[in-house]
Amino acid sequence: MTMKYMAPWRWGNRGVPISRETQVSPIDIFQKEMNRLFDDFFKGFGMKPFTEEMESLGGFSPQVDMTEDEKSVQVTAELPGMDEKDIEINLSRDTLTIKGEKKTESEKKDKEAYYMERSFGSFSRVLSMPSDVDPDKAEAVFNKGVLNITLPKVVSDKKAQKKIRIKSS
């Protein structure tokens, strides 16, 4: 399966494919404008902006890039401030799931005050994969907050032809 089959009408029950576009789409512009309108609306009531509230409720969602070539599918996820032990990757059939829990804690002691801040949040990203990905050869490397997953494709000789004998009845 190639990337052209990742259109919404072909997803079925397989999850939502995620990839970051370098160009800004009209949908992104519309979403940002709607977020701005909600933020402005809530400011009138002395409330925090809506998007700020969502982030404080654990709305962490890592940026994910996905590329495909003839040999493999590469997935890169930005997970700053996370440790390898806090990340779980599962590949089942044609769905890749990346889960994690982000924990930050800071502590500062002064002569007059003691400051302690904690932040916890979990995320889960589900990506549709081509059906020809070989799960036994999948590899993941986590380095400096960047997770790189390589999913080799099953090697098949597409040019091979087999003559099918017709039986008479």
Look at residue 80 and tell me whether its pLDDT is greater than 50.
yes
Among residues of the chain, what percentage have pLDDT more than 90? 20
Q: 151 by DSSP, 3-state: which?
A: strand
Q: Does residue 118 or residue 127 have the better pLDDT?
A: 127
Residue-wise pLDDT for 13-71, tens only, equals 554 455 454 556 788 788 888 878 877 776 766 665 555 544 444 556 788 999 998 88
Within 10 angstroms of residue 21's Cβ, the number of other Cβ atoms is 9
The angle formed by the CA atoms of residues 56, 28 and 18, to the nearest 5 degrees, is 80
Domains defined along the chain, listed by start: 3-9+18-152 (2.60.40.790)
Judge if pTM exceeds 0.75.
Answer: no
**pLDDT above 60: residue 93:** yes
| Residue-wise DSSP of 12-27 | TTS-------SSPPHH
Exposed / middle / buried, residue 149 (Cβ in 10 Å: 0-12, 13-18, 19+): buried
